[in-house]
Amino acid sequence: METILTPQQHLIFVTLTSYMAMLGGVLLWGGFILMGIISRRLELVYGIITHWQFQIIAPLGLFIYLMMQSLASLRHQNMGPVEQWTGYTLLIWSAGLSLWGICRFGRVLKILERGRD
Interaxial angle between packed helices 17-46 and 60-74, expressed in degrees from 0 to 180 and rounded to the nearest 10 = 160
Arithmetic mean of pLDDT, 73-91: 85
Q: Write out the DSSP string of 59-91.
A: THHHHHHHHHHHHHHHTT-PPPHHHHHHHHHHH
| Confidence label for 117 from pLDDT (cuts 50, 70 and 90) | low
User: How far is residue 49's CA from residue 35's CA, in Å, rounded to a whole number?
Assistant: 15
Tens digits of residue pLDDT in 3-17: 788 888 878 887 888
15 domain-assigned: no
14 domain-assigned: no
Residue-level pLDDT at 1: 56
Residue-level pLDDT at 90: 92
36 domain-assigned: yes
7 domain-assigned: no
| Confidence label for 75 from pLDDT (cuts 50, 70 and 90) | confident
Total of domains in the chain: 1
Give just the sign of the alpha carbon dihedral 83, 84, 87, 93. Answer: negative
Q: How long a stretch of residues is the chain?
A: 117
Residue 107 lies in domain = 21-116
Tens digits of residue pLDDT in 9-58: 878 887 888 888 889 988 988 998 999 999 999 999 988 888 888 888 88
46 domain-assigned: yes
53 domain-assigned: yes
φ/ψ (deg, to 5) at 50: -110, -5
Residue-level pLDDT at 58: 87
47 domain-assigned: yes
